Structure 1
Amino acid sequence: MSFNIALSGLNAAQKDLDVTSNNIANVNTTGFKESRAEFVDVYATSLLSSSKTKVGDGVLTSEVAQQFSQGSIAFTTNSLDLAITGNGFFATVPGIDSLETSYTRAGEYKLNESNFVVNSAGEYLLAFDVNSDGSSSSVALSTASPLQIPTSSGSPTATKEVDIKMNLPAGDDVPSFAFDKDDSLTYNNATSVTIYDSLGDSHVMTYYFVKTAANNWDMHAAVDDQLVDLPGGVDLDGDGINNATLEFSSSGDFIAQVPPTITTAALGAAILSNGADPTQEVVIDFNLDTLGPNANEPTQFASNFEVTSLEQDGLAVGRLTGIDIDADGLVEATYSNGTAQPLARIALVSFANEQGLTQIGGTSWKESITSGDPIAGEAGSGTFGTINSSALEQSNVNLTTELIDLISAQRNFQANSRSLEVDNDLNNTILQIR
């Protein structure tokens, strides 16, 4: 019997050494969770035997328990490197249409040839669909799908309005000649802004200001060097093209404009010759406030011509320039035209009993009967932790502690070996009795 007891001690010590060695081997494995060998004594007795004199039958390994404590966070330069601070796992599948979900804390992700976010094993990261405002449409794991970064460009937006804020010089003289956009002597000042058509193509819109009398100005507009009509305006030049008029008070306050809303006529196919929408019109907004001076209005002061604000609401075609991932897992694409588009929200999954998960290698786990069903949700909500972009969770192995455990397991192995030797010597002594 003593042989079996010593042998069970050797097996237990060997298991402890194996577990400790595995922890040490994975000290630099991203998302790795250390394990701990847990042992129980073996005690067997019958109803008719005396438990008072029963010694015990050795030791057994009851479980190699995983320890899901938080690993330290290491920051990187890759925006697709993800780390969870707190509770939760990333969910991955081996194929786009696969339902075989595995779970991991390792966040080393990259794009594959189809722009899907995958790990080094080629497994697809799951995410929830989101609405245009970034809110999740569903947080059920069954509705999550592989996260794909779109290769398409940000959609262009045709310019609908241009806001202008400026100062027109009060001391300027009235030009002596009729307006001619090609002759700078026939107008006092000019400024330009880039606008966009429905296809995202850019066009230069120019505004010419001509002083017609004290406190009165005429404004002409041109797109790509072609004068455009401003319906409801005034044709002061007799060229058949209506212009806007601006009126200022003696204190330089902007008090009136004709027409009340300055809008270009449809730009037409002559200007938009690239196939863009020819019915595009552009509102020229001077932010007239009839109640009195307003900081957003033009002024007419005894100062130089100065444009302090010239903004338009159109957008060119945008090219994907980057991916941002918030702490709540929202994935947002940014484009070169200054727009941002929410794409999806990374799914997190938790379990009632994390230690019940089944290890499958590759720093991944699968659910089991003892782990309970997966519960999906958003990062930062409920009991779920937050997501750090450009960061990785390191192994939670404490190397110093493991080395001490290694020495302890080695001493335990040596002691059981010595016990086995003593048992062997006793048996040899008995066998040599004559």
Structure 2
Amino acid sequence: MAFSQALSGLKAASQNLDVIGNNIANSATVGFKAGSMAFADMFAGSKVGVGVRVSNVIQNFNSGGTTTTDRGLDVAISGNGFFRLEASNGTIYYARNGQFLLQPDRSITSTEGYKLTGYPVAGTPPTIQQGANPVPITIPEGIIPASATTKANMQINLTSNSQIPKNSPFSPGDSDSFNWVTSTTVFDSLGNPHNMNLYFVKTADNNWDMYYQDGSIPALPAPGAPIQPSATGPGIPIVFDTNGDIVSIDGASNPPLINMTYEALNGAPSADFEVDFSNSTQQNLAANSVSDNFQNGYAPGEFVGFQINDDGTVEGLYSNQQRQLLAQIVLANFANPEGLQPEGNNVWTETRNSGQSRIGIANTGNFGLLTSGALESSNVDQGLELVNMIVAQRNYQANAQTIKTQDQILGTLVNLR
């Protein structure tokens, strides 16, 4: 019996060395999870055991360290969760290795060619369809179309000691008929820019008229010529109180909004947009000024790149400085990650022991964090593995010594006369 006990011990120690050697070999493998051997004793109808067997190899799914790479396609997971990958035959794999590649078909894949999956986008502007079935993420290279301006914000200050212009009526071609002109650029449905000129004319203390004109219309009226209503329209009264705050614009007090119109141009129709003059003032500063000027339209733009954000969203970057959502990386988690089946190539598949995958996004529920431009290192502790190697070696030597001792005892029995 001692021979079989020792042989089982030799086999178990050898397999333990295999696990330790595999851990050390993968100490630089991105996202690798160290394994440890679980042993069980064996009995055969008596209180004296017949040896040892390997009952399981347990993987340690604790997070490894995060290493910055500054590579846009590298993503690290800290905490719970796995990337969800899809093979060409439809098999679903799960991985912690966030080293991804962009393929000629514009899909994002693992280094082994499995496609990274995530939530798709839909609508205009595109929004993430959370809860939809995850699909392979692709990076389209198309343009982002123009978006017509519908809202604008301008925060201005009109100098309170300005004098009433000496010429009247107002004419955009006569600088002596207005106090100040400023402009804001807006966009139509085809992305044509419209330079909207805003003219301010003081009519009395705390009272001003504002005129606007679409500067994309080639010809301005000559000095003294009548104003074209389609280009400028009537003056819009602006009233301030004695503290320099807006009382009303065009008779409306709250909020201080007006509607402006840009003209039809190059196939795009004429359209209205809303301008908000909130927080504008009349104060005795050295000059009239604009401290805030924003509008929500933009010209079309060409694709120049993409970015993976820490929340897993993938954004396209365009030449017009705009960003557009393309997809969002999903994470998968399991009731028992240790029940996953390792398949090599740094991936696992789900089993009955792991339970079915639960899909979600980073930093929600029990899902961990994503870090773009970084990778999760192997969680192998080399110092611990070297100590474990010494222990396994001693176990192997001790079991071998058991065989040697039993052999000596049998030899003594054989030599008895």
Both proteins in one fold, TM over 0.5: yes
Which of 150, 155, 159 does residue 149 from structure 2 map onto? 159
Aligned mates of 1:377, 1:302 — CA distance in 2: 55
- How far off its partner does 1:421 sit? 3.0
- How far off its partner does 1:354 sit? 2.5
Q: Answer yes or no: is 1:73 the counterpart of 2:54.
A: no
Which of 210, 215, 226 does residue 238 from structure 1 map onto? 226
Do the aligned residues in 2 keep the contact of 1:72 with 1:395 (CA within 8 Å)? yes
Aligned mates of 1:174, 1:406 — CA distance in 2: 93
The one-letter code matched in structure 1 to 2:147 is T
SS at match of 1:84: strand
Aligned mates of 2:134, 2:187 — CA distance in 1: 37
Cα deviation digits, residues 66-89 of structure 1 (max 9, x gap): 222332333332344333333222
Structural mapping, 1:380-419, within 5 Å: 380-419=363-402
Do the aligned residues in 1 keep the contact of 2:162 with 2:202 (CA within 8 Å)? no
Cα deviation digits, residues 314-344 of structure 1 (max 9, x gap): 22234455424344x4445555656544443
Q: Aligned in 2, Cα 1:177/1:130: closer, same or farther, shift over 3 Å? A: closer
The one-letter code matched in structure 2 to 1:19 is V
Q: Answer yes or no: is 1:365 the counterpart of 2:365.
A: no
SS at match of 2:272: coil
- How far off its partner does 1:161 sit? 4.2
Please report the TM-score for the alignment, with normalisation by the length of structure 1: 0.78
Do the aligned residues in 1 keep the contact of 2:164 with 2:201 (CA within 8 Å)? no
Greater fraction of residues in strand? 2
The one-letter code matched in structure 1 to 2:263 is L
The residue aligned with 1:48 is none
The residue aligned with 2:137 is 147
Task: Please report the RMSD computed on the Cα atoms of aligned residues, expressed in angstroms.
Answer: 3.6
Do the aligned residues in 2 keep the contact of 1:220 with 1:227 (CA within 8 Å)? no
Aligned mates of 2:330, 2:292 — CA distance in 1: 43
Which of 215, 237, 240 does residue 223 from structure 1 map onto? 215
- How far off its partner does 1:301 sit? 4.7
The one-letter code matched in structure 2 to 1:78 is R
Do the aligned residues in 2 keep the contact of 1:321 with 1:336 (CA within 8 Å)? no
The one-letter code matched in structure 1 to 2:372 is S
Point out where structure 1 has 5 or more consecutive residues left out of the alignment.
Answer: 46-50, 230-235, 288-294
The residue aligned with 1:56 is 49
Aligned mates of 1:266, 1:192 — CA distance in 2: 13
Point out where structure 2 has 5 or more consecutive residues left out of the alignment.
Answer: none
The residue aligned with 1:32 is 32
Aligned residue pairs, count = 403
Aligned mates of 1:69, 1:262 — CA distance in 2: 59
Q: Aligned in 2, Cα 1:356/1:220: closer, same or farther, shift over 3 Å? A: closer
Structural mapping, 1:156-195, within 5 Å: 156-164=146-154, 165-168=156-159, 170-172=161-163, 174-176=165-167, 181=172, 184=175, 187-195=178-186
Aligned mates of 1:302, 1:59 — CA distance in 2: 90
Cα deviation digits, residues 158-184 of structure 1 (max 9, x gap): 123444423156433524487665564
Which of 257, 261, 267 does residue 263 from structure 2 map onto? 267
- How far off its partner does 1:24 sit? 1.0
The sequence identity of aligned pairs, in percent, is 34
Do the aligned residues in 2 keep the contact of 1:181 with 1:208 (CA within 8 Å)? yes
Do the aligned residues in 1 keep the contact of 2:119 with 2:128 (CA within 8 Å)? no
Q: Answer yes or no: is 1:204 the counterpart of 2:204.
A: no
Aligned mates of 2:246, 2:334 — CA distance in 1: 66
